[in-house]
Chains A and B, each alone.
Chain A
Amino acid sequence: MNIGSNLRIGPFEVFEPAREAAERFRQNGGPVFPGKLFVVEGIDGSGKSTQLSLLHKWLESKGYGVVFSTWNSSPLVKDTTKLGKKKKMLTPATFSLIHATDFADRIERSILPLLKAGAVVLCDRYIYTAFARDVARGMDSQWVRELYGFAVKPTVAFYFRVPLETAIGRVVTARDGFKFYEAGLDLGLSDDPTESFRLFQGRILQEYERMIPEFGLTVIDATLPVEVQQAQVRQIAKTHLDRAIELRVRP
């Protein structure tokens, strides 16, 4: 069913793992949206949010119309997610589905229209976060990938790669204790929250490593100084924006 001029929001249209759809897109030629979508991924403590906010500042200063979208923030869905987390009602399957619901709402009502309008959209976490977490919780990896078949393929997906111990060191000093699902306590890996967090993040890291070749993630070495990483990120972003310079919003 058409929701706009030429885009069918039916799944598998804009998503690479579905070969047929990707093929159709190549045949149609040219970019589907005038906008650009940059996403950052990585385990907790990889520094991805810092890098994204620096990119945000830079894009704004250059006069682009930039919009920020965070994981888990749909006004329609977040109360249900909160309820499930607070009362510990979520199983791996419902955890996966409620996050997909949240993401769907943001795609349908925010990300997609913005990209059509030519905005630069920045996402702190994207479908790869869901793939990594859900599979670490025991969900079937093919099932989860199909579940997110309606997602828009990002212009660039930056993956901030960092050794587990470095990330944990940053996180443990920065906060006092972990939340139940954040530490993967629902999996019964360990009774100790910090140990459980370590084991769970280890699984997630493994999943990210697997996804680098699968989805062509752009790897940034997150052990480098913040400034060096940011220079790399801007350099890469710039190559995609040069071709879209007419999308600029004059301040």
Chain B
Amino acid sequence: MRRTYGKTLPGMKLTDLSGKLIVVEGTDGAGRTTQINLLKGWLEERGHAVLDTGMTRSPLAGEGIRRAKEGNNLGRVTQSLFYATDFVDRLENEIVPALRAGFVVLTDRYVYSLMARAIVRGMDPAWIRSIYSMALVPDAVIYLRIGVDELIPRVIFSRGFDYWESGMDVFPGQDMYENFRSYQAALLAEFERLSVEFHFETVDGSADVRTVFTELQKKILRIVESDSRREHFLKSSDELAETLRMKLEESWVARLRDMRAKDLKILPRTEPVSSNGNGHRTA
């Protein structure tokens, strides 16, 4: 049975979540996305069904967060909670169903990045931890550690300094380079604290892509093919692939069935097209 960090969300059953939840953490530019793409292909070649997910990819809040970040008026508490909404939408609708179907879930950042960002922005650490107390405890948290000095050339020669990645909302003044350094250093310090508390497995993210990848493969293989799966796997990898596919299909059939049942049960209220004047109604 899976554990959470304290609280359990209504309707979330923690039994039969047989997949593996693997988190890749690290600051901006640490190489997370590159590694996840490599890992996904590699795991699929080995016959594992993989779900990859990451921040702001939820159908509910992803677009809202992107729009809010385009402006200059997204506050710190609001930002923290908007990200929490995005996270929970993906947790309930992607991560948990995939784990139930036996997938390997690779997640690009998890609650730790969200905690670090909030704490660096002055939020109470106890407050942000209590919000994420409903998160599932992953099978592994791999932390790609990289220093600010190694980070700078990567950022300069790829996408350049970004407003939020430079903590322009946190630090005074207009110097993006200085702010980037201060902000990323603050995040790294926070990650160091979190890495002890949440048992990160630290990997040197400043090494070249191939070296990091090999390191990650070793760590992940231990988790993904360590248990009874391994026997099963050795017996017949085709059989495993088939089982995974069937489980996936089952979960989709069940989801479709649920959706239909909902549609039959509830006739949506017809709403007026325009929202003139009654935008203040509470619901």
What is the interface of chain A, defined by CB distance below 8 A to chain B?
1-3, 8-12, 70-74, 76-80, 83-85, 88-94, 97-98, 100-101, 104-105, 107-109, 124-125, 129, 137-140, 143, 146-147, 149-150, 177-182, 185, 188, 191, 193
Contact between chains at B265 and A80 (CB < 8 Å): no
Question: What are 25 A-B contacts defined by CB distance under 8 Å?
Answer: A1-B170, A11-B123, A78-B279, A80-B60, A89-B89, A91-B10, A92-B11, A97-B88, A101-B81, A101-B82, A105-B78, A107-B77, A108-B75, A108-B76, A108-B77, A108-B78, A109-B75, A137-B10, A138-B10, A140-B7, A146-B131, A149-B127, A150-B127, A181-B283, A188-B265
Q: Which residues of B contact A178 (CB under 8 A)?
A: 269
What is the minimal beta-carbon distance from B146 to any residue of chain A, in angstroms? 25
Q: Is the CB of B92 within 8 A of A180?
A: no
Contact of A72 among B130, B133, B266, B282 (CB under 8 A): B282
Asked if A76 contacts B74 (CB within 8 A), the reply is: yes
CB-nearest residue of chain B to A191:
B265
Inter-chain contact A105/B75, CB cutoff 8 Å = yes
| Contacting residue for B60 out of A90, A181, A193, CB 8 A | A90
Q: Is the CB of A80 within 8 A of B64?
A: yes
CB interface residues, B 28-75, toward A, < 8 Å: 59-61, 63-64, 67-68, 71, 73-75
How far does the alpha carbon of A89 sit from the alpha carbon of B244 in the complex, in Å? 27
Question: With a CB–CB cut-off of 8 A, which chain A residues contact B73?
Answer: 76, 109
* A76, B78: Cβ atoms closer than 8 Å: yes
A19 → chain B, closest Cβ, in Å? 13
B residues whose Cβ falls under 8 Å from a Cβ of A: 7, 9-11, 59-61, 63-64, 67-68, 71, 73-78, 80-82, 84-85, 88-89, 92, 121-124, 126-127, 130-131, 133-134, 170, 262, 265-266, 268-269, 271, 279-280, 282-283
Closest B residue to A13 by CB, please name it: B124
Q: Quick one: given A91-B11, A143-B7, A181-B283, are A11 and B60 in contact (CB under 8 Å)? A: no
Measured between beta carbons, the chain A residues less than 8 angstroms from B77 are: 9, 11, 104, 107-108, 150
By beta carbon, the residue of chain B nearest A79 is B64
From A9, A104, A143, A185, B122 is in contact (CB under 8 Å) with A9
Cα–Cα, bound, A126→B34 (Å): 44
Nearest A residue to B122, CB-CB: A1
